Amino acid sequence: MRNAFANTLIEMAERDPRVALLMAEVGFSVVEPFEKKFPDRFYNTGIAEQSLILTAAGMAIAGMRPVAYSMSCFLPSRAFEQIKVSVCYQDAPVTIVGIGAGMSYGEMGPTHHATEESALMRALPNMTVIFPSDAGELAEALRWAINSDHPAYVSFRKAPSPKLPEHGFDAMRAVPYRSGKDGAILAVGMSVAEALAAADALAAKGFGLSVWGLHTVKPLDEEAVLAACETENIFVLDEHQGWAGTAGDIASLILESGKRVRRFRDISIRGGFAGKVARYPELIEQFGLDATSVAENIASAFEGK
């Protein structure tokens, strides 16, 4: 994923002299080619996320298209008010990029997990929030965000890109991966691969599940959500806190539309910080977000458990 990030930024900077990369002391062994190629458009603000965001916002109001890069666990929370006021209130075209979406920093522990990033960033007016599912979507999301005249938050996993089926990218549209009659899994960004594996396991049990990939969680693709309701069973998969989560947005949308669903399950992180040392795959298993747990969860819903 990180290489897709670095390569896309180089491509955008070649095309557009307004593009600059600012980072807060992250990106070792990834961003150097950008620095080498564009030394006058590469800035390390030091371990200072507030300054990173303010400087980027200032560059944006002076006509540039800065990308502010740091870790997902630090940037939205440490610099939240700077993002709220100097980026979003001013509607400054800053692309904020986080590495380490959800729990993907694994054994680095809860200080390095970013399960609150979605709630924080979705709460801000003028902000578009994107969790790319794979390297291709990351590249497309960056192109879209840098070209947009408004703020965007793009956060990706600290992990190799999963191999997903070929698909197009439209920032405002969910990705329909497969269609089934019994229910629909709406999977946020990094959970798409698990959702597809869970749908395979459920198919083997005789349940046909649609799978939609939601790279963009704000704004929601309302049309896709309402289309998914035709199956009458909605399962939202999201590697973020369920409090103020995307599943809540989806539930509100469905209720307000007057659509009826029989089953709705919010499969996200509820509760505390990770406990004992655990690697990323073990963590998503602990929190019930791996393919096996998701398949069991959905099967139990159909079986009325």
The residues that touch another protein, with contacts defined as CB under 8 A, are: 20, 40-41, 43, 45-46, 48, 50-51, 53-64, 66, 81-82, 85-86, 89-90
| Smallest separation, CB 147 to another protein (Å) | 18
| Smallest separation, CB 54 to another protein (Å) | 2
| Smallest separation, CB 158 to another protein (Å) | 25
> By C-beta, is 39 or 206 nearer to another protein?
39
Residue pair 51/45 in contact (Cβ under 8 Å)? The answer is yes
Query: In DSSP terms, which residues pair with 129 in a beta bridge?
Result: 153, 218
> By C-beta, is 76 or 189 nearer to another protein?
76
| Smallest separation, CB 21 to another protein (Å) | 12
> By C-beta, is 19 or 237 nearer to another protein?
19
Residue 197: CB atoms within 10 A of its CB come to: 17
**Cα torsion through 35, 36, 37, 43, rounded to 10:** 20
> By C-beta, is 62 or 226 nearer to another protein?
62
Query: In DSSP terms, which residues pair with 178 in a beta bridge?
Result: 211
> By C-beta, is 66 or 183 nearer to another protein?
66
Residue 207: CB atoms within 10 A of its CB come to: 20
HEC readout, 6-59 = HHHHHHHHHHCCCEEEEECCCCCCCCHHHHHHCHHHEEECCCCHHHHHHHHHHH
Distance (Å, whole) CA 217 – CA 109: 25
| Smallest separation, CB 291 to another protein (Å) | 43
